[in-house]
Structures are given as C-alpha cells and as structure tokens.
Amino acid sequence: MDVETCIRENIAWPKLPEDVRILLGNSSKEYEKRVFDYSIRNQLRYKGNLVRHVKKSEELYYDHLIRFSESHLMLFPYHLSDIIVRELRTSPFNYYINILSDMLNQEKSYDSLPNFTAADAVRLLGIGRNQYIDLMNQTRSNRKFLRRNRTTRELLPQKPAKLSFEPWWTVSIGSVLESDVKMLTEEERKVIDRLFDSGPQSAGTMPVNVITALYNRGLVYFEVPVEDNDYVFVAPLDGFVMNRVLGDYFETLLYKIFVAIDDQTTVKEMAQILHIDTQLVKNAISLFCRLGFARKRVTGAENLKLHFSWAGLVSTGTPTSGSAINSPTSPTQEDISTGVDLNEFSTNLTSLDDDESEEAQSPSSNDSAPMLRGFSPQPPTLTKEGSMTSSTSSSLPTSDVGTSNRAAFVFDSSLAAFLMMGNLSASLKGHAVTLFEVGKLADEQMRDFLEQLECVNQFAEGEAQRYSAHATALLDSLRSLRQGREADLLRGESLLTLDESSRVRVLAKSYGILVAMAPLLLEACTVPISSIPFIGPPNAETCSPWFRLAIYGATRSGPASIYLPQGTRLTTLPQALLGDENDNLATNGRILVSSPKHEPHLVAVQHALLALNDLLSNSAVFVQNYPPSTDESDLIVFVPFPFNEAELETEDSFCKHPAILILTERIGLRHLAGYVVLLKNKVVARDNVGGRDIAARMRVDEAFAELGGIAGGADAEPGSAKNSILEKLPEGSSFDDYVLLDCVFGVPLFNAQLNKTICEKMSSCGILNPENRINIQFANKEVVTMVNDVISKSNFGLVSASSLFPGSEQKKVEIVPPIRPVHFDADSREIEYVDKAPASRAVNGSFRSFLRAHATRERHTSANELSISQDFPSSV
C-alpha cells in the first residue's frame, strides 16, 4: 500500500501501516503535507476527506484549491460548484477569464491550454485559437506603446458566450446578494424565489430567456445529473480542441472513460469494470455531457412538462452528426492544434480558412436563447401544458444483437493522421479528431463516417494518393466487418489508458472479436492475449524483430539478419549482409534497418556503418540483407491468408512455398487472416544506382510496396491499380528464389487489391464466425510461445519488458531489448546467439566470426549494464 492509497481510503495517521510510516520518515507532519497536496491536486471535497483534519479553515482550503487549479490550467471543478460558485462567488466563466488573463499577461501560447480546459473555455468564453491570437496581439500593442488604454481583463468578454444547455439539466441557485435581488425583473425574481424555496429545478420547466439572463450574471449555475442506471454514448467531438495533455487525475480519468463508454453498459457497470469509484465516473460523464462530447440515451426530458418558451428549441431523436446543431461558439478545425505528440499527425494537421472559422463561430440567432445540442431537424410537439408528446426511446441507439456479435476494428494513430492530412474530405477531419482523442468510434456513428469515406476525393499520384487509397481500403474493410454484425473503430494506443485487467474486462464486455489494421504500430499493440479473439498481433513482440527471427528459425528461411543490442559499436559490416564479392552486391547492396525509435528504412551499404553506429547509441537495431535496386517486378511478394482449396491444389501457388507450409502448420494460418511477405533473394541489379541512399518515412510494408513490391515495379505506388497480387511463381522461377521476410496479422490498408483479397478470404473461410474464435486464441497463444522461446534463449530467460522495471505503471508499449546479439544465418538457416564461448570452442558462421573479430561494446555504468557487458565483453 502506498501513501496515496492511504489518503484515498481516509486512513488517519494512527492507523497507517508501519511500512507507510517508514516511507514518511515516521513524521505525521509529512503525512499531513501529503494529504493537503493530494487533496488540492485531486480537487477533493473538504467534508468527508482527511484534509478536514489538516486544514482547519474550509474557506481557505477551497480558496487554495481554486488558485492551484487556475495556475495549473485545470478544468473548473464542476463537482464542487455548490461551494465554488455559491460560497466563493467564482463562476466557471470568471474562472476561465482568470486563466486566459494570466496567460495573456505571461504571453503563453494557446497550446499551453490542455485539451479539455481549452474546449470548456471556448464553450463559455467563445475564445478559440484565432481569437486568442488577436487578443495576444492587442496586449502586445498596448505594451509596445507604453500606455494601456485597456487592461488585459478588459479585452476579454464581459459575459459568457451564448451557452448550450438542455432541458434535463438542473438549475441551482448561485451566490445571490441583497443588492442582486434589487436589480431583478419580476420574472427573474420569481425564478430565484422558486429555486430558494424548492431547490434545484429542471431547466426545461423554466423560461429560457430568464435562465440565460440569470446565468450570465452568475446568479444560477447548471448541474448535469448522471445516475447509476444511465446509458451513455459518445457523440461527435464538435468543439474539441487538440492542444496538449495535462496528465492530472481528472484528465486521465476522462480518457479512461472515453475508451470505455459503451451505450450498452450502465454508468454503474462501467465503474465496476474499471474499478473506479462510481461518483468519479459520474463526474466524468457529467462533464462529457456538459461539453457535448457524450449523450445520455434516455435523459428524462421525455416526461417533463416543458415551459412554452422551449418550443422550437428542443429537438430529440436519433443522434446523427450530420444533423447536429453546432454551438456558435464551438471551434471548428481552426482549434485543432499541432501540439499532439505524433510524428506526422502533429506536423500535418490542417485547419479551415479563417473566414470559414469565423463564420462558423458567429451568432446566428437570438442571443437570449440557448443553442441546444439537438440531433433531429424536427422538434417534438408540445401540449398546452408544455409536455413532450413524442418519445425518443424508440429512436435512440440500441442493439438487437449481443456484444458477442459486436466486433471492433483496431487501428493506430497513423490512420487518424491519414484521415486528417490531405484534402480528402472536410468532414473526415472531425471524425479523425474523434478517432484520435476518444480513441473510439461507436457503431452508432459509423453510418455517417462511412458516408464521408464514400465522398473522399480520389487522387492519382503522390502522397495524396496514399491517403485516399487508405481511406478507400478502410471503407471496404469496415463494410466487410459489418456484414451481419455491429462494429466499432478502436484506437489501440487509447487502450493503454487502462491497466491490463481493466482492458480485459472492457474488451470482454463490449466485443466478441477484434480485427486489426495491418501492419499495426508497436504502440498500438495493447490487446491482452487473454481478453478476446484477435485477428492481429497478439502481443507487442509480434510487431518487433523478435517475431521475424522466430519465424525464420521455425521455417529455416529468411534473409541474413542480426539484432544488435544498444551500445554495440561496429568497425565494419559483416560480409553476410553484403553478399558475395563476386556478384557486385557489395557495391549495389542495401540493408533494411529497423529500430524501435525510428521508422524502417533502406540504406546503401556504402553509408550504412555510420548510420548504424549512430542508431545503436540510442536503441537496439535490427539489420537485414536486402537485394539491390532492380527492375524485376517480383522482388516482394505478398501472400494473403487464409488459403482456399483452389490455391492449395495449385502446385506453383505461393501458398505452397515450403516456409509458408511450415508456418501454416506451426501457428495455424488457416484460422487467422493477414499476409506473408516473401523476398526474392537473387535479383539483377539496376545499373547506375550504386551509392544512392534510399530512405522512406513510412512503415516497412509500404516501403516494400514502393520499392518494387508485388507487380508494379520500383515506381509503383501503394494501392495503385498496378499493385495486383502475384498468385503463382513467375515462369522460370522456383521457391528457392524466395525467402520468408515477414508475416503480418490483420487487414492491410496500404494496398487495395491485397485488402480486398484478405477481406474476401475472411468471409469465405468463416474466420470471424463464433466457432472459429477458439482456434484464433489457440493460434495466437502459439505465436506468443514461439516468440517468447527465442527471446528467452537470447536473454537468459528475460522475456518481458515489465520485468526490467517491476511494479512500475505502464505508460507506453515496450518490448524487451536484446541483451546480446542474436542473428539468423542465411547459410546455416539457424538462429545463433553470441555467448562467452571457451577459446577452444569452434566458432562457425560468418556472423559469429564477424562479431568476435570486429565488434566492441561501450562501457556501462549501471549494475544491469555491467552484467550484460560480461556476456559480450569489450575485448572481443
């Protein structure tokens, strides 16, 4: 038990476990300090928590809490509104005014605001990125001319922006002084008296204009009620601002709830699945509903007798983003920041023109009336008493099939980047934000998403062609997956916000099977093997060099390859990577270089040594022999599986390659879906290409497709019509001409024909059928066992990255690095490990001889590194 756990569980100092006391130096004062800091950081209520015994003044505690939250740019503590608004007279509007005022005075960039804080500030103040830049310019102009005609606070709005609220929200009395009452109209006084006498009331039962006027003066505030049995689903993220992640307790909770929200799971069930206090889950969902990022399936407004002033404003019905009414203060694509930590995604996010953004944010109706987040263009009918006669329960998203028949397509962040980049479709950018931030697109919003994919602009060349090809392949994949079942989109990296046990529970509760895009980035390999049948990499190591080494060893087929530990220093390249000196490969040869921190790329051998040593200083590196640049069309061959009977009966079909047959029997390819990559090991080099560096900022398989893959030649673009599937051996070739390069599980998006073929095979072979799911799990287990066996032999039993740092919280996906060099010798067709062999022991194999003769190891300082260096001493 740690200190924070004791504070959460309200364990007083006398009852603290002895080990916790020792951690605190047996100091009760230190514990009190920790209690106060934890309570402030987590915005805990004074009553009912340990902090009431530490801080005697409740008012000073809340004052400190609000100052801390403002200085750290945290969300307004809506769960404490009864204290913050009513007692301290600090409304959410004033709170964000203080934050933006301080930011302008300190000349902080708009990207300093965390995502949710920025979204809430836009909702209440109407200040997005463009408006903030204008305010910053005005502030600087005042300082430049040494006379401030207007202070920073005077430049900011004097009243809240036109607010979005719904009739089922409740209105509570704020801080009302006697002087305030004197300024009220008769209608406003009646509402205030009603709130004083009867307590919080549903907004729909009171005049809209009166509520708005009272809210603008800070005399009332809104609460968004969420109950244990409520069902919630994620709505399109209109108004989300992509800036940065703060990492505080509530923001972390929000992202956990985002990925776990399921319209078939109640709030209470969600809390139980996540092992999170139910009230915290309610607070998070309440905020989502307040921001418009989530909606309750049944709000309770169906039974309200609405005030006649709501006529024409309320709309209910089936939620579809295409008919959503946007708030005039909601930011459009201008508020999508480039501050997200994602390689291409962070540098290529685009925005709409400023004119379009300003038009979208301009008020379009009476300022005294709220904008409602309605979805149906036709409002419900109101009776004379003002009650709704139309019920929304029949049109709300429901599921007639169980979750066992619900599937999810697992993607990684690069897909969101593809949908965001290029001029594919303006509407897709909004969906890309949802896919990246929420990490999920539920089946309820899938129809609109598919319609947008159908409208994607098709490009014939260049990078834009790649993006449109991915979008088209995604459309075909989702259509195939949705045949006879519901399907969600799920971002693999988002699952990492949950601990592994919570991931297992969430996935098992919501889905019957998962299918991954292929290839999947290492960071997105977050699906626990024990959770659910998964057509994709069963663990992170399957997306690493360890898996390739494992399949090379199992099939005795593959290019010469070596996995070098971080810190290795090379003085020359091994001859096995260069080929025979007689066939000119040493001049025109290339090597394929992969590392966890860099995208795979091809490098000419003349320049490889310096590049490898540079990479090895920061991470382990996997190096493979790769043929020289050639005009031959069958350098790379993709072999999709599962295989049908016609393929298996054709002798010259690539599925009859000896390595593929062994792989099929070893890990059960007949029960999985994906593709095997074969590499032609003997090619005729293209003239006059020696010495030219070749590097592609893309994934390995896309590099393969561009650098000669399938049938299109060296200039073929991924996804182009030329990239057809080579089903049989070319005339004059034999299986000996090809070696195994990789095996990828899932549905590829980089090639339309390959995508179509695999989807058809999955359907015809019944891969997704319930009766095959147990076979999928057995096959995945065999894959993991095969990989772990290689890792264990290489690393002396260490098979998991978590073993290196036991007890630490997993923040990202990591694979265990090699402790000593491990290589696949193409001549002996075996995996070999470099160990501390006796001097009299015969050392065979060009790789082993090379490593003994030419490699050195940098000195290490830590105990772990010293133990590693003993197995690969610096004297070799």
Written as six digits, the tokens of 867 are: 């133990």
At residue 587, the pLDDT reads: 59
Of 470 and 530, the one with more pLDDT: 470
Residue 426 CB-density burial (10 A; 0-12 exposed, 13-18 middle, 19+ buried): middle
DSSP 33-93: HHHHHHHHHTT--STTSTHHHH-S-HHHHHHHHHHHHHHTTPPP-GGGHHHHTTTT---HH
Helix axes 129-144, 92-105, angle to 10 degrees: 50
Distance, CA of 749 to CA of 476 (rounded, Å): 9
* pLDDT class of 722 with cuts at 50, 70, 90: very low
Mean residue pLDDT across the chain: 77
Residue 871 pLDDT greater than 70, yes or no: no
Give the per-residue pLDDT at 705: 43
pLDDT for the residue numbered 155: 86
Mean pLDDT of 812-832: 86
- Residue 671: pLDDT band with limits 50, 70, 90: very high
Stated as kind and residue range, the H or E segment containing 871 is none
144-156 pLDDT, tens per residue?
A: 655 556 678 888 8
**Segment 701-727 mean pLDDT:** 43
766: CB partners within 8 A, 6+ apart: 772
d(CA 502, CA 260): 9
Q: For residue 590, which of 573, 578, 576, 574 has the smallest C-alpha distance?
A: 578
Which of 213, 239, 396, 403 is CA-nearest to residue 332? 239
User: What pLDDT was estimated at residue 48?
Assistant: 87
pLDDT confidence band for 638 (50 / 70 / 90):
very high
β-sheet bridge partners, residue 678: 637, 740
Cβ contacts of 298 within 8 Å, gap of 6 or more: 230, 231, 392, 393, 396
Cα of first residue to Cα of last residue in the chain, in angstroms, is: 47
pLDDT tens digits, 761-797? 999 999 999 999 999 999 999 999 999 999 998 888 7
Question: How are strands ordered across the β-sheet holding 201-202?
Answer: 201-202, 170-173, 220-223
Tell me the C-alpha distance between 208 and 225, whole Å: 19
What b/e sequence results for 57-91 when a residue is b if at least 16 CB atoms lie within 10 Å of its CB, and e otherwise? eeeebbeebbeebbeebbbbbbbbbebbbeebebb
Highest mean pLDDT among 210-214, 440-444, 631-635: 210-214
pLDDT tens-digit series, residues 294-352: 888 888 777 778 888 888 776 543 333 333 333 333 333 333 333 333 333 333 333 33
On the question of pLDDT at 372 being above 60, the answer is: no
According to the model, what pLDDT value does residue 20 have? Answer: 87
Residue 675 has pLDDT above 50, yes or no: yes
Percent of the chain residues past pLDDT 90, beyond the cut: 29
In the numeric block, the tokens 């399936």 are attached to: 297
What pLDDT was estimated at residue 95? 94
Q: Cβ distance 783 to 542 under 8 Å? A: yes
> Which tens digits make up the pLDDT trace of 412-447?
988 888 887 756 777 788 788 888 888 888 887 888
Q: Is 711 exposed, middle or buried (0-12, 13-18, 19+ CB in 10 A)?
A: middle
Tens of pLDDT along 214-245?
Answer: 998 889 999 999 999 999 988 777 778 887 88
- List, in sequence order, every residue forming a beta bridge with 294; answer none if it has no partner: 234
The residue with tokens 């102009």 is 141
pLDDT tens-digit series, residues 10-46 = 888 888 888 888 888 888 899 999 999 999 999 999 9
pTM higher than 0.85: no
Q: Which amino acid is at 531?
A: S
Decide: residue 747, CB within 10 A, 0-12 exposed, 13-18 middle, 19+ buried: buried
One-letter amino acid at 535 equals I
The tokens describing 409, both together, are 């397509």
